[in-house]
Amino acid sequence: MASTQHPNNLELLTLIWIDYLADATQENREVQARLRTKINYLRTFDNCQDGEHYIRNVIDDKQEKIVLIVSGRLGPDMTQRVHDLKQVVSIYVYCLNKEANEQWAKNYKKIRGVIVRLSDLLYEIDRDQKSEEQKLNEAIEISTKEDYSLLLLLRTKLSLKDRRDFVSFCLKEYHDNESQKENVRDYEHLYSSSSAFDYFFNETFLYRLLLKSLHTFNIKLLYLLRFFLRDIEKQLESLPTISGKVYHGQLMTTAQVDCLSQTVENTFIQFNTYFIASSNQEHIRQLLQTAADNYLQRVIFEIDDKNNIGKQYKQICMFPITTTFRVTSVRLEQRIWIVQMTAHNDIHDSRLKEEIDPIQLAQYFREMNRLDQAEILFELIQTQHSSLTAECYDGLGRIAQDRGHYDISLSFYLKSLQTISSKNRAQCLNNIACAYDYLDQYEEAIQFYAEALDLMKTALERSTCLNNMGVTYAKENEIQQALDCFQRALTLRRTSLVENHPEIGICYANLGMIYVTLAQYDDALEHYNLALRSFSSNKFCDISRAIVYQNMASIYYHKNQIDQALKYYQTAQKIFRQLRSADHPNLLYIQQQIEQIMQNK
């Protein structure tokens, strides 16, 4: 049987103890409490089968790293079962008979020691965690996509409540760990912005929570920890820069090395952690050569910091969390991969340098189609700031709408309306109307659009509402009224927008829809192509592009141009798959159409 502990591990390491008496005696329960002063997340098992199942099937081998303690009695069997798994980084034999167990233990390179005294075990675990060799094993992910999420987290406004909420979060997480709760209370009273480096480099609970949340991109924890990120970055700014080359050692998967090879002179990459390097290449090489490779590839990153991005702190070079790198070459040299890179920290968009509010941060994640993370942020912000309840309900409604859950989105919009400011009331009414439209309740939709239109002042606001109203009229087959709405919307938008603006494209797309209804298919295709031209200038218009491709496919199908229809359906499907869940109504419909075409070919 296994002990019951926290369902999620928010720190870097998982500690597993295999001993048939692990939970059976008061003495061993006290041992557990002592062990958790070093690694909070502890699981105990009284047999090898359950322990192996947990390690193989419950632990995420990409993110979790396991320190395993085995008894002398169960050690040989358990070690043989899991020694070669990548997620197991260290093994300790905690036993009564040191000499006897050293005989079998010497055959396994991951066994760090055969130990009799608890104090020695605690010392070795602590030392091992902080060793340079273990740093080689820390999880690292490579991103080749342009991602401003960490930069925007750093730019998000802080409040006094953020620190209090973080303390409450930690006390809840460590509720049954007195040692860690004491650390949290010390932090609450002693932490200051100028002490961020001390908390980071002394590998406190703050350090462990930060690194794990970066590795897994735990948005809730990163949001609560953004004060720590900001303080670290502020201290980095005050440090001298390093010029010349620095080196970082890492154990990586073959797939990660392949990914690096594919990015050579091709794209910028980012790492999901603070990148720390050294000027001593030979020391890094020796570490890699002597470390247990854990069936991973040995890698040395050689960073040419000609742009003076890295900062010198004592004997190391530390790069800001937002640093990007360009890989210039990847080669294998004496069984070690040498990855040459240059460091960059260019931010060309001035908007990314400005401070933003928490709602803007959540909206960014929604716009990037990271809906789960956006949802977490809106829910968290709502609990923190009662004054932003209406904005949070609005955001949650938009997320539900993006997921195709229109009844849920309507519920959130109606809640938002109850506390919305007069300034934002018109937009909220427009959103409610959209939700009714999606639910095929057209009379209610027209009613709310009309109410919203009466409150709207600017040309762009009115054009958006008219455009939406036109869609609803078209669904009710009131074609002339729909055409009138779309033409009025296009006229309003042309007064303040350039011709290739995406909002102009939406008007073209909707006029195309009307021409389809009027059976003027060539005119419809012409307007759809104008829409695509407008959407091509903005990466956030992929959904609109997909809808246009879907509509064009329907036209070609109607004109019996089957190959063209199939091509456009497949193009729409490809875009939707990147942005919507597999059960989204659009994807289900397109799949049905593709299957029908394939059956009839």
Q: What share of the chain is helix, strand, coil (3-state, %, to 5)?
A: 60, 15, 25
CA distance 189 to 186: 5
Q: Which domains occur in the chain, in start order?
A: 13-129 (3.40.50.2300), 245-350 (3.90.176.10)
> How confident is the model at residue 34, as a pLDDT?
94
> How confident is the model at residue 2, as a pLDDT?
47
Q: What is the DSSP string of 468-536?
A: HHHHHHHHTT-HHHHHHHHHHHHHHHHTTS-TT-HHHHHHHHHHHHHHHHTT-HHHHHHHHHHHHHHHT
Q: Where are the strands (E) in 334-479, listed by range?
A: 336-344
How far lies 377's CA from each of 168, 387, 431, 529, in Å? 17, 15, 20, 37
How far lies 446's CA from each of 440, 455, 531, in Å? 11, 15, 25
Q: Which residues of 20-47 are buried (b: 16+ CB within 10 A; e: fewer)?
A: eebbeeeeeeebbeebbbbbbbbbbbbe
- Angle between helix axes 26-35 and 118-129 (nearest 10 degrees) is 20
For residue 82, give both structure tokens.
């899991």
Q: How many CB atoms lie within 10 A of CB 367?
A: 12
> How confident is the model at residue 331, as a pLDDT?
96
CA distance 97 to 116: 7
431-435 own/partner pairs: CB under 8 Å, 24+ apart: 431/394, 431/397, 431/398, 433/468, 433/469, 433/472, 434/401, 434/468, 435/397, 435/401, 435/406, 435/409, 435/410
Closest Cα partner for 87 from 137, 40, 144? 137
Phi, psi for 156 (deg, rounded to 5)? -75, 130
42-45 sheet: strands from edge to edge: 42-45, 13-18, 65-70, 88-94, 111-115
CA distance 171 to 184: 7
SS (H, E, C) 251-266: EECHHHHHHHHHCCCC
Express each pLDDT in 231-257 by its tens digit. Answer: 999 999 999 998 789 999 999 989 999
Question: Is 163:239 a contact under the CB 8 Å cutoff?
Answer: no
Residue 120, SS3 per DSSP = helix
CA distance 18 to 98: 17
Q: What is the DSSP string of 76-88?
A: HHHHHHHTT-TTE
> How confident is the model at residue 63, as a pLDDT?
63
Express each pLDDT in 330-355 by its tens digit. Answer: 999 999 999 999 999 876 555 567 89
Question: Is 549:531 a contact under the CB 8 Å cutoff?
Answer: no
Express each pLDDT in 434-477 by its tens digit. Answer: 999 999 999 999 999 999 999 999 999 999 999 999 999 999 99
Question: Is 319:269 a contact under the CB 8 Å cutoff?
Answer: no
**Model-wide pTM > 0.85:** no
Question: Is 269:142 a contact under the CB 8 Å cutoff?
Answer: yes
pLDDT averaged per 10 residues, the chain (length 601): 57 92 91 93 95 86 81 96 91 96 94 96 89 73 86 92 93 92 95 95 92 92 96 95 90 91 89 92 91 84 93 93 94 94 76 84 94 98 94 98 96 96 94 97 97 95 95 94 95 90 91 93 95 81 89 93 94 89 88 90 69
Place of tokens 């606001």: 461
